[in-house]
Amino acid sequence: MKCLIFLLMVSSSIFGATYQTMSELGTSASMIGLGNIHGFEKSANVIFDNPAGLNNIKGISAGSFSTELMGGEIQFRNLSLGIKTHVGSFAIGVMESAVSDIPETAIQDNEYIQIGSFGYKNQMAKLGYAFKFNKRVTLGANLVGINHEIGTVNAQTINTDLGALIEVDRLNLSFVLQNALFWQDLNYSNGGSENIPSTVIGGLKVGLLDDLDGYFQLKTFLREDHQLMSLGVAYQPNIVGRLVTLRLGWKEFLILNQKHSSITLGIGLDLMNVGFDVAYEKSTYFEVDSKQYVSFRFNF
């Protein structure tokens, strides 16, 4: 299985296609529960989605997220830390997916035999800043570093994200341009290269009722002919100070340039300054039939 996963991951780089960013999976259980809606996360983890959202953190904020894919063979995790000051909000976030002990094979006597093993590692780091431009508009930016390792082959590059949040009465608008330096590519040590996808993501949060919010998102890939839609709702029943949030979402996603969809469910619990979120995803694609996610939030 690990050989198959590895080949799917690296085949694009062999032919010079497009790099698959880790954030396409999701960056927190709360955003996944809403159908991968970007920009409205309550902790410093919003740095991975829209840096302008950092202005909404309180004091010192931290977030963590982890999951396992393909029966635990792929480890996916991230960690973020942010602080709000009188001159704006600052944050740093790191994200990693990794596979270890991938068999290296050779043909001997017309049979494949294992002659060793190697690892796969995909890492991303973001350094972000956000500030209140005026009463309704918040702006933010990230400096992004990417490291990709496949055995002894590796590539590194830098990029940037640009984001904005706009508040109009019961409407909240999120706009972000991820990987704005569209000419930046990943150039591997073996001579191969991959395009870094630049995406424009527009999101909308609207207060439908006092305890019910609706979400809509459209994601456009600038260097490819793809658009992905997401829908979500969040319900906070008036039980003991609305400590519980129930989430439902639907999203579209790409696998090998083919569009698929999934339904997501989530629940969040807020206790004082600590938040805990879980999400479940049911996919129409048989290879990723269902997944579970867990994340934590801290604001002090």
Is the model's pLDDT at 124 over the cut of 90?
yes
pLDDT of residue 253: 84
Q: Is the pLDDT of residue 23 over 80?
A: no
Q: Which of 26-35, 76-85, 107-116, 125-134 has the lowest mean pLDDT?
A: 107-116
Structure tokens of 130? Answer: 């956000």
Q: Tell me what pLDDT residue 242 has.
A: 76
* pLDDT tens digits along 252-278: 988 777 788 889 999 999 887 888 999
Strand partners, 93: 80, 126
Residue-wise pLDDT tens digits, 53-65: 999 898 899 999 8
The structure's pTM equals: 0.84
DSSP bridge pairs for 249? 232, 264
Q: Which CATH number fits domain 2-299: 1.20.58.100, 2.40.160.40, 3.90.600.10, 3.30.980.20?
A: 2.40.160.40
Is residue 66 over pLDDT 70?
Answer: yes
Domain ranges of the chain: 2-299
Are 144 and 179 within 8 A, CB to CB?
Answer: yes
